[in-house]
Amino acid sequence: MNLQMLMASPVTLALLAANIFISLAAFRNERLLESMLFDMARVRHKGEYHRMITSGFVHGDPMHLFMNMLALFLLGPALEITVGPAAYLGVYMASLLGGSLWTFMDHYRDMNYRALGASGAVSGVISAAAIFYPLETIYLFFALPMPFIVFTLLFVGWSAWAATTRVRDGIGHAAHLGGALTGIGLVCVIWPAHVRQSWDQIVQAVLPF
């Protein structure tokens, strides 16, 4: 990703700005934060379903915000340019909702469960981009190079395992899983030709071995 690509990606720019602006405001305004985060008790008992969306625009701390926005900054423009601004925004928002719905189902009985962050939406962007660019190199922990599709499969597998076994590390693994699966599902339904094309690329890359 380069600056020229970013400037040609108005939706990514708008999402970056919205997340940063709202999150910074919420860092200083606890009342704003409380009104936007995902709160299972309020969603179930008070019907505050808007929290499934608003929670994706606030973050717990600067590092949480930085990591999500870094991933969006690096991967968002390529996907937006590939599918177009409207479809890209659809993938982002659907993945955000998909992550929240998975979280809702996964923690349905936990009235104390609360969550926030754009992780579900960003996970959907990552998984969707991986199908379009399966053999692009991604650096795990910014050091270990691997094909984008391998990185994504590891990410989805880890998220599924962590969500299933209730790993308690402060990370919303259910949101990651729901968002990533939503992104994959949307690409398979809306752009099946690209799925077949990516599969052919992967097969051609693996066959020599």
The tens digit of pLDDT for each residue in 169-192 reads 778 889 999 999 999 999 999 999
Q: For residue range 133-183, what is the model confidence (pLDDT) as tens digits?
A: 999 988 877 778 999 999 999 999 999 998 888 777 778 889 999 999 999
* Ramachandran assignment for 142, one of left (phi > 0), alpha (psi -120 to 50 degrees), beta (any other): left
What residues are paired with 147 via a beta bridge? 137
Average pLDDT estimate for 32-47: 95
Is 176 part of the annotated catalytic residue set? Answer: yes
Amino acid at 46: K
Q: Which of 59, 64, 173, 176 is catalytic?
A: 176
Evaluate if pTM is beyond 0.85: yes
pLDDT at 19 over 80: yes
Question: Residue 123 and residue 130: Cα distance in Å, rounded?
Answer: 11
pLDDT at 2 over 80: no
Q: Which of 119, 123, 127, 159 is catalytic?
A: 119
What residues are paired with 144 via a beta bridge? 140
Count of beta carbons in the 10 Å neighbourhood of residue 199: 13
Element (H, E) at 139: strand 137-140
Average pLDDT estimate for 99-120: 94
All structural domains of the chain with their residue ranges? 3-206
Question: Residue 41 and residue 111: Cα distance in Å, rounded?
Answer: 5
How much is the CA Rg of the chain, to the nearest whole Å? 17
Topology of domain 3-206 in CATH is Rhomboid-like fold (1.20.1540)
